[in-house]
Homo-oligomer: A and B are copies of this chain.
């Protein structure tokens, strides 16, 4: 685990606490609570995996009932694939925290991340709750970022500020994720908070748009998790008049700050991709529509052959071309396709660029950050996906994860 100092700004109205409950790991914190000031508004997006985890089901239900006062997150156990018992376990955790915190169970959103299919150790988790709540602290964001890690090697934490009528508002967030990463309308786990007062519908629109441009545009291994969730809280502690108009300058500023932070956190997740040695942007241009552009970008980003070539710093561009060809684009005219590796054009009109040299391709591939750009020659729509390479360590990490 990297021990770098994490820069962040606390968010008025939000306090955090972590503790080691011994859920799976020993010698580290694995339980996190966020306390949200009364009057906070909360928006969330969740995984689209049909086998969503019990806490996802319960959090979605609670959020539809009332405004949350606490987020409760454990790492080490996903409480997914656990059937009716899993739902009972998630309910028991919320009930126990409600008792300690003197609130209603439906004011608590539960989240879990870790191994799928094992029973959540409810007693160990609930036994830690009284001590957990005694630690609530507005400055606990860095330890919070560490407490939710599983195969992550670095914590992910960032902050932004934006202006509201002469006041400076803050947005701070944490995220976790390094494998089983191919978010679908949501992500791994990310918890973001602002001290601004924001109406729920504005908050929801802001989160959906920001997630679409960040967490929903990354992939490490194409495996969409059962537990993905991304939460955005507005505590209102800043005292501004609530942002109610989606087109207002304040709303635009909020959106820009949240999206910028989400992109930073999503990029940090890809950089920390299991076994990753390279950060790769796949940009597909000149598509007929966004679906088509994303389909081609994801086909390249998921190709094990492209990913192992990236690991090897091998400009084996034929594998990129083959991935474009199998992406299922109807009536693709290969003579209209151009492909670049960084600034080096590798494919012109569907064939190897006349002035391409292996040396030029190899120079780009040796970089730690690589851009693959594909122009389909069919339209004007572009899309980007962030991904990483595929290394021995990906296999090692995922072969050893449970043993």
A224 cross-chain contacts in B, Cβ below 8 A: 322, 325-326
Q: Point out the residues of chain B lying under 8 angstroms from A222, CB to CB.
A: 302-304
Assess whether B324 is in contact with A50, with CB atoms less than 8 Å apart.
Answer: yes
Q: Judge whether A130 is part of the interface by a CB distance below 8 angstroms.
A: no
CA A323 – CA B304 in complex, angstroms? 17
Stretch among A83-91, A167-175, A230-238 lining the B interface:
A83-91
Q: How many copies does the complex hold?
A: 2
* A309: chain B residues within 8 A (beta carbon): 398-399
Nearest Cβ in chain B — how far from A329, in angstroms?
7
Whole-angstrom CA separation of A250 from B353 in the bound complex: 52
Q: Is the CB of A304 within 8 A of B223?
A: yes
CA distance A352 to B352 in the complex (A): 51
Partner of A350, one of B83, B116, B179: B83
In Å, the complex CA distance between A318 and B325 comes to 32
Q: Are B223 and A311 in contact (CB under 8 A)?
A: no
Task: Choose, from A104-112, A188-196, A388-396, the stretch at the interface.
Answer: A388-396
What 1/0 mask marks residues of chain A from 321 to 348 whose CB sits below 8 Å from any chain B CB?
1111110010010100000000000010
Determine if A292 is an interface residue (Cβ-Cβ < 8 Å).
Answer: no
Please encode chain A, from 375 to 401, with 1 for each CB lying within 8 Å of some chain B CB and 0 for all others. Answer: 000000000000000111011101111
Q: Which residue of B lies closest to A333 (CB)?
A: B50
Q: A329-B50, A399-B311 are known contacts. Are A116 and B83 too (CB-CB below 8 A)?
A: no
Size category of the A interface is 35 or more
Which of chain B's residues have a CB closer than 8 A to the CB of A226? 318, 321-322, 325
Kindly state whether residue A317 has any CB partner on chain B within 8 Å.
yes
Known: A83-B350, A221-B305. A316 touches B50 (CB 8 A): no
CA distance A392 to B396 in the complex (A): 7
Interface centre among A86, A325, A349, A392 (most CB of B within 10 A): A325
Q: Which residues of B are found within 8 Å of A182, using beta-carbon distances? A: 326
> Is the CB–CB distance between A398 and B50 below 8 Å?
no
Nearest B residue (CB) for A353:
B83
Q: Is A208 an interface residue (CB 8 A)?
A: no
Q: Is A52 an interface residue (CB 8 A)?
A: yes
* Chain B residue at smallest Cβ distance from A400: B312
Bound CA–CA A153/B402 (angstroms) = 31
Assuming the contacts A82-B352, A223-B323, asked whether A395 and B395 have C-beta atoms less than 8 A apart, the reply is yes
Q: Which residues of chain B have C-beta atoms less than 8 A from A116's C-beta? A: 316, 318-319, 321-322
Given A314-B402, A347-B81, A352-B83; A322-B395 close (CB under 8 Å): no
A52 nearest in chain B by CB position: B325
- The reply to whether B325 and A49 contact each other, CB–CB distance below 8 Å, is yes
B residues near A325, Cβ cutoff 8 Å: 49-52, 224, 226
A351 to B321, Cβ gap below 8 A?
no
Contact, CB under 8 Å: A225 / B398: no
Q: What B residues does A321 contact at CB under 8 A?
A: 51, 80-81, 116-117, 226
In the complex, given contacts A52-B325, A116-B319, what are 4 additional A-B residue pairs having Cβ atoms less than 8 angstroms apart? A80-B321, A81-B350, A226-B321, A392-B396
